[in-house]
């Protein structure tokens, strides 16, 4: 299914189709060993069912996309409509990895409560978008540049080899105009891990444990700041309501989810009402989101005959494929029998 529309120039490309999940002997992988159930009584929001690889449905396996975000609301801001569409229309299995713990993002006086509230909101976002599982790395918010990049990269390599995504969606590792260290460290770590996961000499213990090198063929860099490059847009006209619900999840971070209700309260204290914000907090949040948070996507879509669109910079391995095909064609055309 074509979901791309080219923006602004170049050759349109299909989103990567299903790729077989093969072990290093070329045998399709079914289920990986289930993770052990937690033994302690506390049930954190992320402790869902043991992870299993998707069963094949006709094609060798379902395609997989992994989103790597730094904060609870990144995906909602930049790519939630596309994820919802890939899951619902294209049969993708989606996973979400979050690098930080959001401990700076919330009005609560308790750091612990702030972290937990964001974690629960991320789980709710996953439910709305049909994401199968969330992996929280838990690094300190705004200090990802103090983390060992090698450690972050190794954790990503492990999950990339475990989940075997066809596409990874994250921050552009070049990231012009990006001031948040969590964003640029996440993007750069993903880029290196994506490449390293496909090599067979790095982290050989993964191979001993039954994992295999895995090349992620598609990269979708979302546009987190004005001025970051884009070469594709995704038509998410049918997912406007999903985008609104995704953004409304983020009550703790506030920028997206709870600004409407705070505006309503501020003006009510002055004896004023803004009719468009409606008569309750939930309506106010969603009215604010529709008017302000969706405006860039609606404006972008309008230039292409869509109700709403999300921009990305997309890269795949087509250059490598073309080079290898050219070499093979040249070799076959020029090979002569040995004397």
Q: Which residues bind Zn ion (CB under 5 A)?
A: 70-71, 74
Output the furthest CA–CA distance in the chain (Å, rounded): 97
How many secondary structure helices (H) and strands (E) does the chain include?
11, 8
What distance in Å separates the CA atoms of residue 95 and residue 55, rounded to the nearest whole number?
A: 16
Long-range own/partner contacts, residues 211-216 (CB < 8 A, 24 or more apart): 211/158, 211/161, 211/162, 212/22, 212/23, 212/24, 212/29, 212/161, 213/24, 213/161, 214/160, 214/161, 214/164, 214/165, 215/317, 216/66, 216/160, 216/165, 216/166, 216/167, 216/168
The least distance separating Zn ion from the CB of residue 70, rounded to whole angstroms, comes to 5
The residue whose Cβ lies closest to Zn ion is 71
What distance in Å separates the CA atoms of residue 128 and residue 14, rounded to the nearest whole number?
A: 25
The least distance separating Zn ion from the CB of residue 176, rounded to whole angstroms, comes to 16
The least distance separating Zn ion from the CB of residue 190, rounded to whole angstroms, comes to 14
The least distance separating Zn ion from the CB of residue 73, rounded to whole angstroms, comes to 7
In the complex with Zn ion, which residue's Cβ is closer, 93 or 100?
100
In the complex with Zn ion, which residue's Cβ is closer, 227 or 271?
227
Q: Are strands 218-222 and 133-139 parallel, antiparallel or unpaired?
A: unpaired
The least distance separating Zn ion from the CB of residue 35, rounded to whole angstroms, comes to 28
Any idea which residue has 């309260």 for tokens?
265
The least distance separating Zn ion from the CB of residue 224, rounded to whole angstroms, comes to 7
In the complex with Zn ion, which residue's Cβ is closer, 16 or 136?
136
In the complex with Zn ion, which residue's Cβ is closer, 98 or 132?
98
């Amino acid at each position: 299914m074509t979901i791309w529309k080219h923006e602004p120039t170049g050759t349109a490309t299909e989103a990567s189709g299903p790729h077989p999940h093969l072990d290093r002997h070329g045998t399709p992988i079914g289920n990986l060993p289930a993770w052990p159930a937690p033994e302690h009584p506390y049930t954190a929001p992320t402790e869902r069912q043991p992870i299993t690889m998707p069963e094949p449905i006709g094609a060798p396996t379902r395609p997989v996309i992994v989103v790597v975000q730094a904060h609870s609301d990144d995906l909602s801001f930049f790519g939630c409509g596309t994820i919802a569409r890939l899951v619902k229309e294209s049969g993708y299995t989606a996973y979400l990895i979050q690098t930080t713990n959001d401990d700076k993002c919330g009005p609560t006086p308790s750091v612990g409560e702030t972290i937990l509230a964001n974690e629960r909101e991320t789980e709710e976002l996953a439910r709305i978008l049909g994401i199968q599982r969330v992996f929280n790395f838990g690094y300190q918010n705004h200090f990802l540049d103090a983390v060992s990049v090698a450690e972050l990269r190794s954790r990503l390599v492990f999950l990339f080899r475990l989940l075997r995504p066809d596409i990874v969606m994250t921050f552009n590792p070049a990231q012009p105009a990006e001031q948040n260290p969590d964003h640029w460290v996440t993007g750069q770590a993903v880029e290196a891990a994506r490449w390293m996961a496909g090599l067979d000499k790095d982290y050989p213990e993964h191979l001993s444990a039954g994992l295999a090198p895995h090349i992620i063929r598609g990269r979708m860099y979302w546009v987190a700041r004005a001025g970051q490059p884009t070469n594709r847009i995704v038509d998410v006209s049918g997912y406007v309501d999903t985008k609104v619900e995704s953004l409304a999840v983020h009550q703790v971070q506030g920028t997206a989810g709870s600004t409407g209700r705070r505006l309503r309260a501020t003006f009510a204290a002055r004896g004023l009402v803004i009719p468009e914000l409606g008569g309750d907090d939930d309506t106010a949040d969603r009215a604010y989101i529709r008017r302000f948070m969706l405006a860039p996507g609606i404006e972008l879509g309008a230039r292409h005959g869509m109700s709403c669109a999300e921009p990305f910079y997309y890269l795949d391995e087509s250059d490598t494929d073309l080079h290898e095909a050219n070499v093979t064609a040249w070799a076959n055309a020029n090979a002569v029998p040995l004397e």
